[in-house]
Chain A
C-alpha cells in the first residue's frame, strides 16, 4: 500500500450556489463551509450578470433566480459577512460584468483591512463563450475583450494570486460541443486574449507571467474514459501553445490549470435519482488521471433538471467529492494511465482533431471573427442537433429516458416533486429592490456622479477600466449604473444565432414524415405554418430554442427566431406583425410564471389570439398555473423528442388555422 504521507492534497471542493438575496446566500455559504466545503463558487442572478439594477424593467422576475443579486458594495459585503476574504478561495461565474464584481470584491476587502494582494480566487471573465452559448454578454466583442484584458493586467499587477480569467469550455459542451470542439474553441479564445495582450505591448517575461495566470473551466461528461483523454490532450496542447506561440520557457507557467463543473446537460428529469450515478462517473473523468487532475471541482445536484437544488441536495454533491478524496485510495498513487496504449491513442486523436480546428479558426480570423461570422456557433448548433438526434433515435442510450423507462415511483420526488426543489421566495425581489432604493437615497450623489464621469472618460479614452471601476465601487455606484455608462459608450450587441447555417442530421423517416405533414397543413391553411420562437427575459441559455428553431425550419415551418433577451412586448409585436400561427416561448431561468403571463397580457392588449406554448425547466407544480393563464402546452427536459413537439405544434396550427 502506498504510504499515507505521500497522499496528494485533495482539490478545492465547491458548490455553485447563490439565490434570493445576499443574506440568504451568505447563510447557505456558511452552512456549506461548515460541512467541509473548501472554496466558494458564486452564482449571480441574470440582472447582475448583464449589468442591470434589480428595479430595471428587464430584471422583472429574474432577481435572485439563477443566483444572488449584487447591486452595490453593501450587497457584496453582506454576501461575505463572517467569511475571511484573506483565506477564502472564491470563484465568481461572471463575465460581461466581471471587472465590476472584482472591483466590488477588492473594495470590500479594503474596507475590511484585507490587502488585495492576499485575495485568492477566480473571475470567469470569458466573454467569447457567452456569445456562443450562455448569452449573458452585453457589449460588442471588441470592448468586451478590452474589459477582459484590463482585468487581467490589473490583477497580474495588484492581485497576483487571482485567476483573472477562467476560459470556459464548460458551456461549449452544454451547447453540444464535441471534446475536440471544446478544446479548440477554448484555445482560440485564449489566443484571442493573449494576442490582444501582445498588441498592447505585453511581451517576454511579462507575457509568460500572464500566460501562467490563465486558467480553464471545463465540463466533464458521462463518457469518462474519453473525458480523461480530453483533459490529457488539453494539457498537452496548452503546453504546446505556450511554447510555440508565446515562447513561454518556464514549464511551470505552461501548466494547464483547470476547475471543473461536471456536466448538467446530461442530467435527466426522468428518474432523477439516476443522476447521482452519472455525477459520480463524470467526476472520475477529471480526477482519475493525476497528470490531468482538476484543481477545483463543483458537482451539480441530482435534481438540477427539476429546478433549484435545496441545501440537502448540495450537501450530497459535496459528500460525493469527499468520499472520493477521503475514503478512496485515489490520491495515493501516481498517474494511472501513463503507459496505457488505449488512453494514449484516444488522447492523440483528440489532440490532432482539436489542433486542426484551432488552425481552421485562426485561418478564418480567430475566435472573435468566428463569433461575428457565426461560424463557431453554427458548428455547435450542428453538433448539438446530432447529439439530440442520436438520443431521439435511440442510438445514444439514456437510461430512464429512451430506454429502461419503466419506473417505480421515486420516493425522492413523491408529492409531484414540488418539495424536491428549492422555491425562491417571491418576496426576495421586492426586498432586494427596497434595499437598492434605500442605498441610492443614502449615498453621496455628487461622489457617484464624479465616479461615473471618470468611468465614462476611461471607457472612451481607452485607459484601463479597473481603477475607475474600483473607485466607482467605493463611491457606492450600482451595478446598473456601471453597466449603463459602458452601454452608452460601447453600445449593445446581438450575436448570431447559428441556426441559419446549421442543419438537422437526416433522421431517416421521421423528418420526411413530418415534412409531408407540414406540406399538408400548409395546403389546408394556405401558407406554411409560421412559428415564432421567443426568449423573453434575461435568460441567455438558448440551446433549446435553437434546436426547436432548427428542426422546425428543416421540417418545413417558417420560423421567426430573434435570439435572446427579447421583451414580452417585442414578442407580442412580432407575433402580430408576422401573423404567426403559434408562439413558442423558452425560459430556463425560473422566471417563467411572470414572463409568460406578461407575454399573454401583451398579446391580449394587441388583440392577438395566437396559441402560446412554453418550454423550459418548469416544475410540475407550475403546470396548472400556466395552463390556467392560457398556455396551450408546456414542455420540459422530459420531452426530448423534438419531432413529437413539432407534431403537436402542427395539431395546434391545424386546429387554429382551419
Chain B
C-alpha cells in the first residue's frame, strides 16, 4: 500500500503510518542501514547477519533498494538473489524496491516501508547500492549505518572526496580473505576516519575486517552493531536521533520538491526545520509534514 503512488492511495497509506506511529512498536526495532559500492559483497554480509539474528530468534525484515534507470524508470532488483533464505522461514521478509529516480537514492516509499517493517520485525536491514553523494539517504532511516568497503578498490580516496566517511557508524572491510590488502585498506580507512572525525570532534567509527565467504569477523560486526544500538538506547538518544534524521530527510525532500525559493517562502532553513520537526513530532508522516510546511496555514 505504501508503494502505491496513486493520489487516492495517499490517504489510506498515511492513515496506516499514523496508526503505526501511535502504536509505538517501532521504538523497539533495531534499524541497520547497509551501504557501499556495487560488488563489495553487501548482500552476502546481509545474509550472514540474517542467519545470526535468526539464530538468536529475532525476526528480520530486509529492504533491498536498487537504483532505477534514469532513462526508462525501470529497475533490476537483483539483490534478493544474493541473500540466502530459508523459503519456509516466515520470520524473515525480503522486499526489493527501486530507488524510483529520487535524488536521494531511497524512494519516498522506502521511508514508509521502513516504518511498516519497523512495526513488524525486531530488526530491519536496509540495503542500498552506491555511495555517491546523492545516495546516502539511508542514514535518514537507519539508527546505525554500516558502510561496506572492498580492499584495494581505491574507494577510500573517493569516499574522502565525497564526504561519505562522515555518514557511517561502523565500517566493514569485506573480503578480508584477501589478506594483506584488506589490512592495508583498514589502516588507510582508519587514518582517514581519524582526520574527518577530528574536524567535527566525533569518536571515529570502528573498522572491522569481515569475510562473508568464510564468516570471519561477522560475529564481531554483529556485536558492534548491537553495541551501537544498545548505546543509543541506554543514552536515551535513540528517539531524538530518529527525530533529527526524519527532520533532515524532510528538509531534503522539501528542497527537492520546492527548491531554494520554497525554502525562502517557508521562512528560511531554521524556520523550515522547526515547522517540519513540529509536524513530525505531532505524528504527521514525512510527506504530510513536507506538504504542510509548503503551505503554512498560520
Residues of A within 8 Å of B98, CB to CB, are 528, 558
B95 adjacent to chain A (CB < 8 Å)? yes
Of B85-93, B179-187, B231-239, which stretch is located at the interface? B85-93
Q: Are B85 and A560 touching (Cβ within 8 A)?
A: no
17 more A-B contacts (CB under 8 A) besides A494-B82, A554-B69, A561-B78?
A: A499-B76, A500-B38, A515-B73, A518-B72, A519-B73, A526-B5, A527-B5, A528-B73, A549-B76, A552-B74, A554-B72, A561-B77, A562-B81, A563-B81, A574-B80, A574-B94, A577-B95
B75 adjacent to chain A (CB < 8 Å)? yes
Bound form: Cα–Cα A487–B129 in Å: 30
Bound form: Cα–Cα A491–B84 in Å: 13
Residues 59-78 of chain B: 1 if any A CB is under 8 Å from the residue's CB, otherwise 0?
00000000011011111111
A84 adjacent to chain B (CB < 8 Å)? no
Bound form: Cα–Cα A559–B6 in Å: 21
Q: Are A561 and B74 touching (Cβ within 8 A)?
A: no
Bound form: Cα–Cα A500–B129 in Å: 12
B213 adjacent to chain A (CB < 8 Å)? yes
Residues of B within 8 Å of A373, CB to CB, are 39
Q: Are A578 and B95 touching (Cβ within 8 A)?
A: yes
Q: Looking at chain B's contact residues, is the secondary structure mostly helix, strand, loop, or mixed?
A: loop
A209 adjacent to chain B (CB < 8 Å)? no
Chain A nearest Cβ from B245, distance in angstroms: 25
B3 adjacent to chain A (CB < 8 Å)? yes
Are A528 and B74 CB-contacts (below 8 A) given A560-B96, A561-B81, A562-B81?
Answer: yes
Nearest CB in chain A to that of B92: its residue: A577
Q: Are A554 and B87 touching (Cβ within 8 A)?
A: no
B4 adjacent to chain A (CB < 8 Å)? yes
B103 adjacent to chain A (CB < 8 Å)? no
B230 adjacent to chain A (CB < 8 Å)? no
Nearest CB in chain A to that of B93: its residue: A577
Most chain-A CB neighbours within 10 Å: which of B72, B81, B93, B213?
B72
B9 adjacent to chain A (CB < 8 Å)? yes
- Partner of A500 from B3, B72, B78, B213 at Cβ < 8 Å: B78
Chain A, interface residues (CB within 8 Å), range = 35 or more
- Partner of A526 from B4, B76, B80, B87 at Cβ < 8 Å: B4
Residues of A within 8 Å of B78, CB to CB, are 497, 499-500, 560-563
A-B contact pairs, 18 of them (CB 8 A): A494-B82, A497-B78, A497-B81, A518-B74, A523-B6, A528-B74, A549-B76, A553-B74, A556-B73, A556-B74, A557-B74, A558-B77, A559-B77, A561-B76, A573-B87, A577-B95, A578-B96, A579-B3
Chain A nearest Cβ from B41, distance in angstroms: 11
A567 adjacent to chain B (CB < 8 Å)? yes
Are A374 and B39 CB-contacts (below 8 A) given A526-B6, A527-B4, A570-B87?
Answer: yes
Chain B nearest Cβ from A535, distance in angstroms: 11
Bound form: Cα–Cα A457–B267 in Å: 73
Nearest CB in chain A to that of B71: its residue: A554
> Chain A residues in contact with chain B, CB under 8 A?
140, 373-374, 491, 494, 497, 499-500, 515, 518-519, 522-523, 526-528, 549, 552-563, 567, 569-570, 572-574, 577-579
Residues of A within 8 Å of B4, CB to CB, are 526-527
Residues of A within 8 Å of B74, CB to CB, are 518, 528, 552-559
Residues of B within 8 Å of A567, CB to CB, are 87
Most chain-B CB neighbours within 10 Å: which of A499, A553, A556?
A553
- Partner of A558 from B6, B75, B85, B94 at Cβ < 8 Å: B75
Bound form: Cα–Cα A497–B5 in Å: 30
Chain B nearest Cβ from A26, distance in angstroms: 39
Quick one: which of B21-47 are within 8 Å of A by CB? 38-39
Q: Are B76 and A559 touching (Cβ within 8 A)?
A: yes
Chain B nearest Cβ from A404, distance in angstroms: 34
Chain B nearest Cβ from A313, distance in angstroms: 37
Residues of A within 8 Å of B5, CB to CB, are 522, 526-527
Residues of A within 8 Å of B3, CB to CB, are 526-527, 579
Q: Are B93 and A553 touching (Cβ within 8 A)?
A: no
Chain B nearest Cβ from A139, distance in angstroms: 12
Chain B, interface residues (CB within 8 Å), range = 20 to 34
Chain B nearest Cβ from A141, distance in angstroms: 12
Residues of A within 8 Å of B95, CB to CB, are 577-578
Chain A nearest Cβ from B51, distance in angstroms: 14
- Partner of A577 from B38, B88, B94 at Cβ < 8 Å: B94
Chain B nearest Cβ from A262, distance in angstroms: 34
Chain B nearest Cβ from A647, distance in angstroms: 15
Residues of B within 8 Å of A555, CB to CB, are 72, 74
Residues of B within 8 Å of A494, CB to CB, are 81-82
Bound form: Cα–Cα A407–B76 in Å: 39
Residues of A within 8 Å of B96, CB to CB, are 558, 560, 578
Are A556 and B72 CB-contacts (below 8 A) given A373-B39, A497-B78?
Answer: yes
Bound form: Cα–Cα A515–B73 in Å: 9
Bound form: Cα–Cα A431–B213 in Å: 39
Residues 99-122 of chain B: 1 if any A CB is under 8 Å from the residue's CB, otherwise 0?
000000000000000000000000
Bound form: Cα–Cα A584–B88 in Å: 22
Bound form: Cα–Cα A519–B9 in Å: 17
- Partner of A560 from B69, B77, B88 at Cβ < 8 Å: B77
Chain A nearest Cβ from B62, distance in angstroms: 9
Nearest CB in chain B to that of A563: its residue: B81
Residues of A within 8 Å of B88, CB to CB, are 569
Chain B nearest Cβ from A501, distance in angstroms: 9
Residues of B within 8 Å of A574, CB to CB, are 80, 94
Residues of B within 8 Å of A497, CB to CB, are 78, 81
Nearest CB in chain A to that of B6: its residue: A526
Residues of A within 8 Å of B213, CB to CB, are 140, 491
Most chain-B CB neighbours within 10 Å: which of A373, A518, A528, A579?
A528
Nearest CB in chain A to that of B67: its residue: A500
Chain B nearest Cβ from A138, distance in angstroms: 15
Q: Are B72 and A570 touching (Cβ within 8 A)?
A: no
Chain A nearest Cβ from B125, distance in angstroms: 14
Chain A nearest Cβ from B124, distance in angstroms: 14
Bound form: Cα–Cα A14–B247 in Å: 71
Most chain-B CB neighbours within 10 Å: which of A555, A567, A577?
A577
Q: Are A562 and B80 touching (Cβ within 8 A)?
A: yes
Chain B nearest Cβ from A561, distance in angstroms: 6
Nearest CB in chain A to that of B8: its residue: A526
Chain A nearest Cβ from B253, distance in angstroms: 19
Bound form: Cα–Cα A556–B80 in Å: 19
Residues of A within 8 Å of B85, CB to CB, are 570, 573
Residues of A within 8 Å of B76, CB to CB, are 499-500, 549, 553, 559, 561
Chain B nearest Cβ from A527, distance in angstroms: 5
Bound form: Cα–Cα A558–B68 in Å: 8
Bound form: Cα–Cα A82–B76 in Å: 53
